[in-house]
């Protein structure tokens, strides 16, 4: 019987998934709220609907006789896929009861603590704790952060600085700020839109060490590592989270960290009950232990191609195997080597200053450089940019080299020679201090 596949998402990241599904003979239906999504051009049928409208999309699934559903690269897309599948009676690798473990960071951290895993100090806080006008505004005893031992006095927030503060219901980096003192927390509450905070926020200690991106598959309840990468970041200013300028596959610390992260994910999926499907983690490696930042039942966007460049495994093929030919997918993974060969990296150029682009010749030259295997500019000359927007990146470029040393040199060269200039000759791009990062765990 032909697979009639609902693919949630029509943005650029989804085009290969749609193309590969068509090549397998699937009848493909795509759906999201983006009427101009490029993946629509490759699908058999497309619908424009807010992915959060579960009832409407479930009805579309019934109308189109959909018997499989898939998405990736986005937390909200993952959640809606699970809810739509449940409402429409379509098989899915995750169930609604699993969602809190993968979508609610407080639940994730609570589970990790129960499993004896390391997570940052973390707590909810309220505006009245900080805006009562005195330094003595302390959290009540029952506001103890996750991870504090039963019976221990809860640490004051200003004892775990620097910390990250963000609205409780925020997604991405909206309203997020690095704070260094109680006064900076008070300033944040005074200056942040009340419609965003509703008087509450999350405080989390800042993690240290090399950030790692982990992507894996759960096969009949057993975690199989697919790839492990170094997520390279640098400081823009003291109140902004570090900016990601490159992701490098495989990690410099692959041999030491791979068994540790695999064991962590195995414990986690056993707790959540996940038996199949993707699982990913962002975490920090200090040379001896892992501190967990995020665990998700999806793959990471804007870098998933890098797994294929180093290991030969297409994550799109894996996702399609999951819903179209699971036995073939299991066979494919038996010979998979997560370390792969050679080195691949995504270099991410980010605008950090408002302006009109006058000259970006050196950015466009990246497409023609030796070792370039993918290039995606988000702007053209004459476009307006702003701090971190409006596109997710200024440009994204993928490179391959024979080894890590060559890749480190490539990244240094790009960051030192590539510029985007505004109308007055001003630099619009983030320039990471590579001496400060040194591309190693300190």
Query: What are the distances in angstroms from CA 350 to CA 176, 243, 345, 377?
Result: 17, 8, 16, 11
Report domain 209-340's class.
alpha beta
Q: How far is residue 177's CA from residue 53's CA, in Å, rounded to a whole number? A: 31
Q: Per-domain residue ranges for the chain?
A: 4-92, 121-205, 209-340, 342-442
Task: Name the residue among 28, 3, 4 with its Cα closest to residue 16.
Answer: 28
CATH T-level assignment (fold) for domain 121-205: Dna Ligase; domain 1 (3.30.1490)
- 289, 268, 301, 324 alpha-carbon torsion, rounded to 10°: 140
pLDDT at position 60: 98
Q: Residue 156, Cβ neighbours under 10 Å: how many?
A: 12
Q: Residues 354, 429: contact at Cβ < 8 Å? A: no
pLDDT at 342: 96
The DSSP letter of residue 386 is B
Task: Give the side-chain half-sphere CA count within 13 A for 234.
Answer: 20
| pTM attached to this predicted model | 0.89
Q: Which residues of 108-134 are buried (b: 16+ CB within 10 A; e: fewer)?
A: bbbbbeeeebbbbbbbebbbebbeeee
What is the side-by-side order of every strand in the sheet holding 27-32? 45-48, 27-32, 4-8, 68-70
Please give the pLDDT value at position 213. 98
- Beta strand pairing status for 355-359 and 277-285? unpaired
- The strand pairing partners of 291, in sequence order, are 118, 284
One fold for both 209-340 and 342-442?
yes
Tokens at 413, concatenated: 């060269």
| Residues of the chain predicted below pLDDT 50 | 134-155, 157, 438-442
252 with 440: CB under 8 angstroms? Answer: yes
Q: Which of 262, 260, 295 is nearest to 280 (CA)?
A: 295
* Class of CATH domain 342-442: alpha beta
Distances (CA, A) of 394 to 9, 96, 378, 386: 22, 36, 6, 10
| 4-92 CATH | 3.40.50.20
SS3 387: coil
Compute the chain's Rg from CA coordinates: 22
């Amino acid at each position: 019987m032909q697979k009639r596949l609902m693919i949630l998402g029509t943005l650029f990241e989804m085009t290969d998934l749609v193309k590969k599904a068509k090549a397998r003979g699937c009848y493909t239906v795509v759906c999201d709220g983006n009427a101009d999504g490029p993946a629509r051009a490759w699908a058999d049928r497309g619908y424009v609907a807010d992915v959060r409208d579960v009832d409407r999309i479930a009805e579309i699934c019934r109308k189109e006789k959909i018997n499989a559903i898939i998405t990736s690269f986005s937390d909200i897309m993952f959640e809606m896929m699970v809810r739509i599948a449940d409402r429409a009676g379509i098989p899915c690798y995750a169930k609604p009861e699993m969602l809190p473990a993968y979508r609610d960071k407080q639940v994730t951290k609570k589970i990790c603590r129960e499993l004896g895993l390391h997570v940052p100090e973390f707590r909810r806080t309220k505006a009245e704790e900080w805006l009562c006008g005195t330094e003595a505004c302390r959290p009540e005893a029952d506001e103890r952060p996750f991870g504090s031992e039963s019976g221990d006095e809860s640490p004051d927030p200003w004892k775990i600085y620097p910390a990250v503060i963000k609205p409780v219901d925020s997604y991405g980096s909206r309203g997020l700020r690095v704070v260094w003192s109680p006064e900076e927390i008070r300033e944040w509450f005074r200056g942040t839109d009340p419609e965003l905070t509703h008087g509450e926020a999350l405080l989390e200690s800042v993690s240290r060490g090399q950030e790692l991106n982990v992507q894996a598959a759960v096969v009949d309840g057993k975690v199989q590592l697919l790839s492990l990468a170094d997520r390279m970041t640098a400081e823009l200013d003291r109140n902004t989270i570090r900016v990601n300028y490159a992701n490098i596959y495989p990690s410099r610390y692959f041999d030491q960290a791979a068994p540790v992260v695999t064991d962590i994910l195995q414990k986690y999926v056993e707790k959540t009950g996940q038996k199949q499907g993707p699982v990913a983690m962002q975490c920090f490696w200090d040379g001896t232990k892992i501190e967990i930042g995020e665990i998700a039942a999806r793959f990471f966007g804007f870098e998933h191609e890098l797994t294929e460049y180093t290991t030969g495994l297409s994550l799109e093929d894996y996702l399609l195997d999951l819903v179209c030919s699971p036995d073939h997918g299991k066979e494919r993974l038996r010979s998979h080597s997560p370390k792969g060969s050679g080195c691949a990296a995504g270099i991410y150029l980010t605008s950090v200053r408002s302006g009109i682009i006058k000259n970006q010749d050196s950015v466009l030259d990246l497409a023609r450089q030796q070792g370039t295997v993918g290039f995606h500019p988000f702007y053209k000359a004459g476009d307006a940019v702003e701090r971190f927007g409006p596109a997710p990146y200024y440009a994204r470029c993928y490179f391959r080299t024979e080894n890590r040393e060559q890749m480190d040199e490539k990244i240094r060269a790009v960051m030192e020679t590539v510029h985007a200039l505004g109308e007055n000759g001003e630099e619009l791009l983030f320039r990471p201090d590579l001496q400060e990062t040194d591309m190693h765990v300190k």
